[in-house]
Amino acid sequence: MYSQGLIGADGRTKEDAAFLAAFQARIDAEEKIEPKDAMPEGYRRTLIRQIGQHAHSEIVGMLPEGNWITRAPSLRRKAALLAKVQDEGGHGLYLYSAAETLGVSREEMTEELLSGKAKYSSIFNYPTLSWADIGIVGWLVDGAAIMNQIPLCRCSYGPYARAMIRVCKEESFHQRQGYEIVMTLARGTEAQKAMAQDALNRWWWPSIMMFGPHDSESAHSEQSMAWKIKRFSNDALRQKFIDATVPQAEFLGLTVPDPDMVWDEGLNDGKGGYRHGPIDWDEFWRVVKGGGVMNRDRIKARKKAWDEGAWVREAARAHAAKRAARKMAAE
Amino acid sequence: MSEVFVTALLELADDHLVLGHRLSEWCGHAPMLEEDLALPNMALDLIGAARGLYAYAGSIEGNGRGEDDLAYLRGEREYLNCLLVERENGDFAQTMLRQLYFAGFMEPYWQAAMASRDETLRGIAAKAVKEVAYHIRHAAEWVVRLGDGTEESARHMAEAVEELHRFTDELFLSSPAAAAAEAAGLLPARAEMRGAWEATLRAVFAEARLDWPDAVWPQKGGREGAHGEGLGHLLAEMQSLHRAHPGAVW
Amino acid sequence: MAEATALWEVFIRPRNGLSHRHVGSLHAADEVMALQAARDVYTRRGEGNSIWVVPSSAITASDPDHADEMFEPTADKIYRHPTFYEIPDEVGHM
């Protein structure tokens, strides 16, 4: 799961105008770009960064939800959550594979994540404090991710688009799983209802921040749109998400923690929509830059798994070399 | 007869849930991403089998206890799993060896259970036998790679054998309840699995260049609810939320 | 030192009667682990009943720069297609 708010994409490129125009013509004709095709360096770099961030987000995203696998309150929920977190790992894997077609290895990307050089979706730097968080994360965070990921299925880069099709197919159960958890809580005991509202209060704003800075502040966004790496603006997707989510919250009897939220007839080209109150961008940038409560813990957990797994991976490679040698000797 | 059958089913169910729970602790922390996918697959198989067994035990018992009552509302002295499955994950070598020991036992056990007099159990066995065959395959490949990989991995593997082998004897012991269910033709006799288990394990050990341990102090007690200290912590974690909200629906 | 575990391409046959189709890739040290990983990663929802894994390094790919000479010459050989030939309607489906 992931959403845009790509931080610092760098689409600068130095090819000549004729090359860039020919490439743009292919993009405009909705032709897919495939791994060995000629492409502007900026296009390649932007994709590596975006797909890498996307993959890292899936992998780091396993941690906050994984935090509740061992405490899931029923066996049915336990199995569903485990399957879901496993899916996130699978999505990370598909995405790393897509990035690898651009000439960067998974190991290199992993090192960039662990060194703090590569970013991931900032939403995962918030802690999951109660079981209701698992429901809310599924409903809102996966919901926001889906808003972003569906258009990515039509992304101009073939391997990324194909990975996203598989991801979207698999993710369709994630949001429903989350919403069902929240619904069960909202219809449950007073304590359960309070748990659900508390989780919504904590996750609402981070969720809508997932779409990234306002379009007016979003650097490099235009180039990504032109190359069809990104197909909708941050604000457009954010609005779509809010319009879909607010009625879902109302249905549950939960209150979106935005006192300024109003229905505005003028939004969405006169079709109307929910106008949200001011977003605390200081908070957003603080967490993006490492100041969230979980930033350090998330990377530490990933680093621990990677470091402690080193001897296992090394053994597998060593054994593979022995097998190959034995096979050779036998022939 | 139904009372002992319920107890024997709970022993099996607890084995599967506890081991599934242990495996689920790895999710997101495995040595490589591919294993982050493989371990939950095994955990989901085990939890799924546990759910079927709990539900069946509850229905025979007839007191209205469902899978969650049985999983979440029994304390550590009431849990009847064998000691092997509750052992902490340790490192990846220990996790894989524990899996191989258990799966190596369950594969012939489920195979034999397909001839049970009890139809529901035959159904559970028919599903589980395929799952567990894959668990053997996956765990065995890793035991071989770690045993015959690097010096460091061989050291980890040998340590895993030392750590876990003493818990394998208990797999072949039948509690009085299980023995009664076995005598009635409902469940396979545990002791009869030893030949198949040892054949599987010895073959893997040979390929992994691991020494078969000759003298260990066998440990048992799980079937009487006498566990190691780890199980209490596992259950405290697993049951905390469920127990904090008595009667709530999740 | 950057470690690297080999990359494999995965092909799955959804069911008998269909051919194996490329579904993605993964990392594994050898072919046995690659096959198991393919099963665990790419068939979690009953996506198939047969798997091939191939080392990515074993694939020889055509060069997109040569696409014109490789694939263009076929374009004007329209006599290879059934619609090139005129058969009166009365003859019926052929």
Q: What distance in Å separates residue B247's CA from the closest CA in chain C?
A: 34
Tokens 């990975």 belong to residue: A163
Region C7-17 average pLDDT: 96
With the C-alpha atoms ordered B169, B38, C55, A115, is the resulting torsion angle positive or negative? negative
pLDDT for the residue numbered A172: 82
CB proximity under 8 Å: B 117-146 to A: 144-146
The string of pLDDT tens digits covering residues A272-306 is: 999 999 999 999 999 999 999 999 999 999 999 99
Residue among B42, B27, B25 nearest C40 (CA): B42
**Tokens read off for A209:** 């921040």
**Tokens read off for B14:** 């607890």
Question: Is the pLDDT score of A228 beyond 60?
Answer: yes
Please judge whether C2 and A97 are an interchain contact, meaning their C-beta atoms are less than 8 angstroms apart. Answer: no
Write phi, then psi, for B96 (nearest 5 degrees). -70, -40
The string of pLDDT tens digits covering residues B115-134 is: 999 999 999 999 999 999 99
Query: Whole-angstrom Cα distance, residue B34 to residue C26?
Result: 8
Q: Alpha carbon of A185 to those of A82, A174, A195: distances in Å?
A: 20, 17, 8
Query: Whole-angstrom Cα distance, residue B212 to residue B202?
Result: 7
Percent of chain B scored above 90 by pLDDT?
98
Higher pLDDT, A55 or A1: A55
pLDDT for the residue numbered C64: 85
Tokens 């495995």 belong to residue: B30
Q: Does B148 touch chain A (CB under 8 A)?
A: yes
pLDDT for the residue numbered A2: 55
Residue C23 host element (H or E): strand C21-27
How far is the first Cα of chain C from the last one, in angstroms, to the nearest whole number?
65
pLDDT for the residue numbered A113: 96
Please judge whether C2 and A111 are an interchain contact, meaning their C-beta atoms are less than 8 angstroms apart. Answer: yes
Query: Whole-angstrom Cα distance, residue B70 to residue B56?
Result: 11
Which of A86, A87, A97 has its CB closest to that of C24? A97
B45 Cβ contact partners less than 8 Å away, ≥ 6 residues apart: B20, B128, B131, B132, B135
Neighbours of chain B (3+ CB pairs under 8 A): A, C
Hey, what domains does chain C have and what are their CATH numbers?
2-91 (3.10.20.520)
Rg (CA), chain B: 18
Q: Number of Cβ pairs closer than 8 Å across A and C?
A: 53
Query: Whole-angstrom Cα distance, residue A41 to residue A32?
Result: 17
Region B172-179 average pLDDT: 98
pLDDT for the residue numbered C67: 86
List of chain B residues whose C-beta atoms are within 8 Å of the C-beta of residue A318:
149-150, 153
pLDDT for the residue numbered C1: 41
pLDDT for the residue numbered A8: 56
Taking CA B171 as the corner, what is the angle to CA B165 and CA B176, rounded to the nearest 5 degrees?
Answer: 140
> Which range is least confidently modeled, A151-160, A173-182, A212-221, A304-313?
A212-221
- Residue A33 binned pLDDT confidence (cut-offs 50, 70, 90): very high
Cβ B16 vs Cβ B53: under 8 Å = yes
Please judge whether A189 and B245 are an interchain contact, meaning their C-beta atoms are less than 8 angstroms apart. Answer: yes
Q: Number of Cβ pairs closer than 8 Å across B and C?
A: 28
SS3 A40: coil
Report strand pairing: A273-275 vs A262-264.
Answer: antiparallel
Q: Which of B23, B32, B33, B34 to mutate to test the interface with C (most CBs of C within 10 A)?
A: B34
Which of C26, C36, C41 has its CB closest to that of B141? C36
Write phi, then psi, for C50 (nearest 5 degrees). -155, 140
CA B176 to chain centre: 19
* Cross-sheet strand order for the sheet of C7-13: C21-27, C7-13, C50-55
List of chain C residues whose C-beta atoms are within 8 Å of the C-beta of residue A111:
2
Closest residue on chain A to B246 (Cα): A189
List of chain B residues whose C-beta atoms are within 8 Å of the C-beta of residue C26:
34
Query: Whole-angstrom Cα distance, residue A121 to residue A134?
Result: 17
Angle, in degrees to the nearest 10, between helices B33-61 and B2-24: 160
Region A153-181 average pLDDT: 94
What SS3 string covers C30-87? CHHHHHHHHHHHHCCCCCCCEEEEEEHHHCCCCCHHHHHHHHHHHCCCHHHCHHHCCC
Please judge whether B33 and C27 are an interchain contact, meaning their C-beta atoms are less than 8 angstroms apart. Answer: yes
Q: Does C57 touch chain B (CB under 8 A)?
A: no
Percent of chain A scored above 70 by pLDDT?
96
SS3 C11: strand
Give burial (CB, 10 Å; 0-12/13-18/19+) of B212.
exposed
Cβ A157 vs Cβ A33: under 8 Å = yes
Hey, what domains does chain B have and what are their CATH numbers?
2-244 (1.20.1260.10)
CA B131 to chain centre: 13
Please judge whether A320 and C25 are an interchain contact, meaning their C-beta atoms are less than 8 angstroms apart. Answer: no
Please judge whether C40 and B34 are an interchain contact, meaning their C-beta atoms are less than 8 angstroms apart. Answer: yes
Cβ A88 vs Cβ A62: under 8 Å = yes
Which of B149, B156, B237 has its CB closest to that of A316? B149
Q: What distance in Å separates residue C84's CA from the closest CA in chain A?
A: 28
pLDDT for the residue numbered B103: 98
pLDDT for the residue numbered A165: 95
Please judge whether A311 and B144 are an interchain contact, meaning their C-beta atoms are less than 8 angstroms apart. Answer: no
Q: What is the largest CA-CA distance in chain A?
A: 78
Tokens 């899996």 belong to residue: B99
Higher pLDDT, A55 or C64: A55
Cβ B163 vs Cβ B94: under 8 Å = yes
Residue among A191, A257, A89 nearest B248 (CA): A191
Please judge whether C64 and A100 are an interchain contact, meaning their C-beta atoms are less than 8 angstroms apart. Answer: no
Write phi, then psi, for C21 (nearest 5 degrees). -130, 140
Please give the mean pLDDT across all residues of chain B: 97
Region A114-129 average pLDDT: 95
pLDDT for the residue numbered A221: 76
pLDDT for the residue numbered A75: 98
Give burial (CB, 10 Å; 0-12/13-18/19+) of B144.
buried
What SS3 string covers A261-323? CEEECCHHHHCCEEECCCCCHHHHHHHHHHHCCCHHHHHHHHHHHHHHCHHHHHHHHHHHHHH
**Tokens read off for A97:** 């594979």
Q: Which of A319, A322, A326 to mutate to test the interface with B (most CBs of B within 10 A)?
A: A319
Question: Is the pLDDT score of A9 beyond 80?
Answer: no
Query: Whole-angstrom Cα distance, residue B123 to residue A127?
Result: 42
Q: How many helices (H) and strands (E) does chain B have?
A: 10, 0
List of chain C residues whose C-beta atoms are within 8 Å of the C-beta of residue A94:
24
Please judge whether A92 and B33 are an interchain contact, meaning their C-beta atoms are less than 8 angstroms apart. Answer: yes
Please judge whether C33 and A316 are an interchain contact, meaning their C-beta atoms are less than 8 angstroms apart. Answer: yes
> Which range is least confidently modeled, A211-215, A244-248, B66-70, B199-203?
A211-215
Taking CA A20 as the corner, what is the angle to CA A14 and CA A26, rounded to the nearest 5 degrees?
Answer: 145
List of chain B residues whose C-beta atoms are within 8 Å of the C-beta of residue C29:
145
Please give the mean pLDDT across all residues of chain A: 93
Closest residue on chain C to A320 (Cα): C30
Please judge whether A79 and B44 are an interchain contact, meaning their C-beta atoms are less than 8 angstroms apart. Answer: yes
Closest residue on chain B to A318 (Cα): B149
pLDDT for the residue numbered A29: 95
List of chain A residues whose C-beta atoms are within 8 Å of the C-beta of residue B32:
309, 312-313
SS3 A31: coil
List of chain B residues whose C-beta atoms are within 8 Å of the C-beta of residue C51:
none
Please judge whether B51 and A318 are an interchain contact, meaning their C-beta atoms are less than 8 angstroms apart. Answer: no
Cβ B249 vs Cβ A188: under 8 Å = yes
Residue among A169, A178, A195 nearest A143 (CA): A178
Cβ A13 vs Cβ A212: under 8 Å = no
Which of B34, B137, B138 has its CB closest to that of C41? B34
List of chain C residues whose C-beta atoms are within 8 Å of the C-beta of residue A317:
3, 5, 29
Report strand pairing: C7-13 vs A262-264.
Answer: unpaired
